[in-house]
Amino acid sequence: MAGSRVRRLLPFLQWQRPTAATLRKDAWAGLSVALVLIPQSLAYATLAGMPPETGLYAAMLPSVVGILWGSSSLLAVGPVALTSLLTSAILLPLAAPGGSQWVALAIWLAVYSGLIQFALGVLRLGRIAYVVSDSVVTGFINAAAMIIILSQVPPLLGLPPMAFDARWPFEALAALRESPLPVALTSAFGLGALCLLTLQRRWAPRLPGVLLVCVGGIVASSLGHLAEYGMGIVGEIPQGGPDLQVPSGIDASQHLALLSGALIIALISFTEAMSSCRILSKKFNMQWNENQELIGQGLAKIVSGFSGAFPVSGSFSRSALNAYVGATSGWSALFASVCVFACLLWATDYLFHLPRAVLAAIIIAPVMGLIDLRAIWRSVRETPAEGIVMLTTFVATLASTPALHWGVMAGLAASFCSRLHRRWSAKAGQDAAKDRLTGERDD
Give the distance between the most distant pair of CA atoms in the chain: 95
The confidence score (pLDDT) of residue 279 equals 82
- Residues 6 or more apart in contact with residue 232 via CB below 8 angstroms: 155, 158, 186, 355, 356, 357
Amino acid at 292: Q
| 49 dihedral zone (left: phi>0; alpha: psi -120 to 50; beta) | left
368: Cα separation from own chain's centroid: 14
Question: Which of 280, 310, 281, 314 is CA-nearest to residue 297?
Answer: 314
233 forms beta bridges with: 355
pTM of the model: 0.91
CB 68 within 8 A of CB 297: no
Residue 203 to residue 91: CA distance in whole angstroms: 39
The confidence score (pLDDT) of residue 441 equals 58
The confidence score (pLDDT) of residue 3 equals 59
Question: Which of 327, 228, 319, 272 is CA-nearest to residue 18?
Answer: 327
User: What does the radius of gyration of the chain's CA atoms come to, in whole angstroms?
Assistant: 23
The confidence score (pLDDT) of residue 284 equals 75
Question: Which of 127, 132, 130, 125 is CA-nearest to residue 86?
Answer: 132
Q: What is the pLDDT along the chain (443 residues), one digit of tens a residue?
A: 555 666 667 888 888 888 999 999 999 999 999 999 999 999 999 999 999 999 999 999 999 999 999 988 889 999 999 999 999 999 999 999 989 999 999 999 999 999 999 999 999 988 877 777 888 889 999 999 999 999 999 999 998 877 666 677 777 788 888 889 999 999 999 999 999 999 998 898 878 899 999 999 999 999 999 999 999 999 999 999 898 887 877 889 999 999 999 999 999 999 888 888 888 887 777 778 899 999 999 999 999 999 999 999 999 889 988 988 889 889 999 999 999 999 999 999 999 999 999 999 999 999 998 899 898 889 888 888 889 999 999 999 999 887 887 888 899 888 888 888 778 876 666 666 666 666 665 55
The confidence score (pLDDT) of residue 169 equals 74
Within 70-99, residue ranges assigned H as helices are: 81-91
Amino acid at 300: A
The confidence score (pLDDT) of residue 425 equals 73
What is the per-residue DSSP string for 203-224? H-TTS-HHHHHHHHHHHHHHHH
Long-range contacts, 2-10 (Cβ 8 Å, 24+): 8/292
**Eight-state DSSP code of residue 95:** S
Amino acid at 162: M
